[in-house]
Structure 1
Amino acid sequence: MSTGLPLVSTADRRHRLGRRHCLAPSARAADTRAVADAVVALHATDAATLYLSARARLAEGGPAEVERALYEDMSVVRLLSMRNTLFAVSAELAPWVDSSTARAIAAKERRTLLKHLDEDGQGLDAAWLAHAEAAALDALDARGPSTGSQLSAAVPALRQKITIGRGRKYEAETGVATRVIRLLAADGRIRRDRPRGSWTSSQFRWVHTEPWPAVPADEARAEVARRWLRAYGPATEADLKWWTGWTLTDVRKALAAVGPEEVRLEDGGTALVCPGDTAPEPAPEPWAALLPGLDPSGMGWADRSFHLDPAHRPALFDYAGNIGPTVWWNGEVVGGWAQRPDGEIVWRLLADPGRAAEEAIGAEAARLAAWVGDARITPRFRTPLERELVA
């Protein structure tokens, strides 16, 4: 054991989480852009998750504050990026995330679609795909914000059907519209605009936009790693590889560029922090949080043992390893929550954090209920405890 290394205790790690993730009341952020930067990226696969993650960290403002950031001043933008997952990041960080991660994903998406077109045997090729993409962009320029269905109605090429896996057990006929739109979005040539329906809807309209400026990929990965380490450190090489989906070589090159310091953990292991970031973190005031499924504070590490008792995992995670809605007390996951069909926010504690904690959790549940209002939330990735609470 490297006893000469600075120690970052479990308590320090939880203090960092409360302050740096804007979860302690005194640390809450003024706007959605600041929230996104605090956690580097907000999960956006589930439309409601993005809003609820922001809500937990905002000092004030309702869903309209998040909508303003996404659709009016566009200070926060969605990108298909880390782990081939949809995230929302600040516009300032977007070029770095795009070059570090999204470009490679977009290239792979294009190769995959071209392979499917070639295997289909109808003579559809890269030239046909380029024509379909151009026609879709022209339609957006003419029509303005449009849903995928509206684009398909306006662009005949998007109504094309192809067969995936011809001659195999999984053979299936599918339309190309969703795949072409996904590719345009991955390339940064279109972006999601206001959805049809409320803020919980994932039926987005699309608008034509310009791709992000290119940044050298190595520089971009170093910048993302530096920001991530500041938000999530102490953390390990394995944590960063899991969070980004990068190769181990790219992770190591990015960390070498950052030049992190090594620290000791209470469990006897070691981890990394940003240079100079070894001092104890002052304890924030006691805090409770009700975080949605896929929230960054629950998905930031491969090893979550410093804030999550492994015995709680079966109740709080789905079969694929996605975390569901969680209840937190002072940096530790102590239970889960759900919204019933009548709108009631209900929760269950999996540990006994004490009476003060229960009162604070109740107050935070009331704050959540007021913020959500008449909206109804069903997580995309449902967990055993969330299902039990709804039932």
Structure 2
Amino acid sequence: MLTDRDIARWRLRSQHLAAPLDQAEDVVRSLLAVQAENPSQSAWAVATRTREPSRHDLAALLSSGQVLRTHVLRPTWHYVHAEDVVWLIELTRDRVLPTVDQQLKPLADRLPALEDAVVDVLGESPAGTRTELAEALAQRGHELTGMQLMLLAAHLELHTVIVSGAPRDGEHTYALFADRVPTPRRLERDEALVELALRYFTSHGPATERDLAYWATLTLTDVRRGLAGAADRLESFEHDDRTYWHAPGEAPASSSPAGHLLQVLDEMYRGYQESRWVLDEAGMLVRGRESAIGMALVDGQLLAGMKRAVNAKAVTFEIRPTRPLDRGEAGAIEGAADRYARYLGLEPRIRWIDPA
């Protein structure tokens, strides 16, 4: 009989934490979307799923436009492959836009003029930072607060007017959507629902219908329509009075590497809602109360909180276990810290906090 730990371990493989891919592009394409509020932390979320994590791999894709950082799925940032960005936005935006537009109500009468102004600015000066965009709009008589500009940008992203440009010195920029995605791939709605279901349950499975509904901000009716068209290419099982869907295959007996240092926004946690707790046998995360801790996972289980501090020479990981760790568990976390530090090009240091 499968346990929560078995499911969590299975997800390590599905998400390429225990079965890394060659390149960042493969990771983003496989996962379909990777939550990406914090650029440095989300870059590690992609890199840690590759065999040889490199800071330059994802950076090159963002510069070229093969991968875009934009608002999609939920009213938040995600990395998405350029081939998938249009159909994914078109499929999910009707349930995401109201959240954004509700906050834009004070600007509702000005939105057409603001859109025209943004298009003019980015047409003249592609890849502008948010500060540059704000200054250019102010010069045209459109002074906006930082929050108003952020919401306006999300609104225009969801209408495929603008999208991320090439980062400049590590800073996010905006560009015209048509310039970055000149030949978008579009799918009819039913076709898109099937593709979404197939790719989500393949890359995040085992997972439930409600997990996907949360992840893509869709209704259960839409999720079930997509699943009906994809079910012949998936398998399922019952656990804890829920049906879990996944790519064909059996649960792995073990995971390698066993240890992973991740932020709580990582897809291993944020990729689910109904069943995200399978990684938390120790009860470290309180259901219904999000925490900003990082996660130290061993064999798919959250065994310690993690905080990361970086200076010019070293990265220090503060590890706070939920209980005393055995030698193998501590070694797995040390191995994960070494891998993360190599990616950053820094010396790894671990500060263990007594669980007592």
TM-score, scaled relative to structure 1: 0.76
Residues 150/14 of structure 1: CA separation in 2 closer, same or farther (3 Å cut): closer
Residues 93/12 of structure 1: CA separation in 2 closer, same or farther (3 Å cut): farther
Q: 2:159 aligns with which of 187, 200, 217?
A: 187
Q: How far is the alpha carbon of 1:22 from its aligned partner?
A: 1.5
CA deviations over 1:70-97 (Å, ceiling 9, x no partner): 112x222223122322211222332331
Partner residue, 2:263 = 292
Partner residue, 1:170 = none
Gaps of at least 5 residues in structure 2 are: none
Partner residue, 2:197 = 225
The answer to whether residue 15 in structure 2 is matched with residue 21 in structure 1 is yes
Deviates more, 1:249-258 or 1:281-290: 281-290
- Aligned identity (percent) is 23
- How many residues align? The count is 340
Partner residue, 1:132 = 114
Distance 2:295 2:147 in 1: 37
For the aligned residues, what is the CA RMSD? 3.1
Residues 159/357 of structure 1: CA separation in 2 closer, same or farther (3 Å cut): farther
Q: Is the 8 A contact 1:345 1:365 kept in 2?
A: yes
Q: How far is the alpha carbon of 1:101 from its aligned partner?
A: 0.9
Distance 1:102 1:348 in 2: 39
Partner residue, 1:93 = 84
Q: 2:322 aligns with which of 350, 353, 356?
A: 350
Higher-Rg structure is 1
Partner residue, 2:172 = 204
Residues 111/217 of structure 1: CA separation in 2 closer, same or farther (3 Å cut): farther
The one-letter amino acid paired with 2:158 is: A
Q: Is the 8 A contact 1:240 1:301 kept in 2?
A: yes
Q: How far is the alpha carbon of 1:326 from its aligned partner?
A: 0.6
Partner residue, 1:71 = 63
Deviates more, 1:338-347 or 1:288-297: 338-347
Distance 1:108 1:348 in 2: 36
Q: Is the 8 A contact 2:282 2:303 kept in 1?
A: no
The one-letter amino acid paired with 1:329 is: V
TM-score, scaled relative to structure 2: 0.82
Distance 1:10 1:111 in 2: 39
Distance 1:174 1:284 in 2: 44
Distance 1:352 1:158 in 2: 61
Q: How far is the alpha carbon of 1:42 from its aligned partner?
A: 1.0
The answer to whether residue 321 in structure 2 is matched with residue 329 in structure 1 is no
Q: Is the 8 A contact 2:254 2:299 kept in 1?
A: no
Distance 2:264 2:96 in 1: 24
Distance 2:154 2:141 in 1: 15
Alignment of 1:116-265 (within 5 A): 116-117=106-107, 125=109, 128-156=110-138, 159-160=141-142, 176-198=148-170, 203-210=171-178, 212-259=184-231, 261-265=235-239
Partner residue, 1:309 = 281
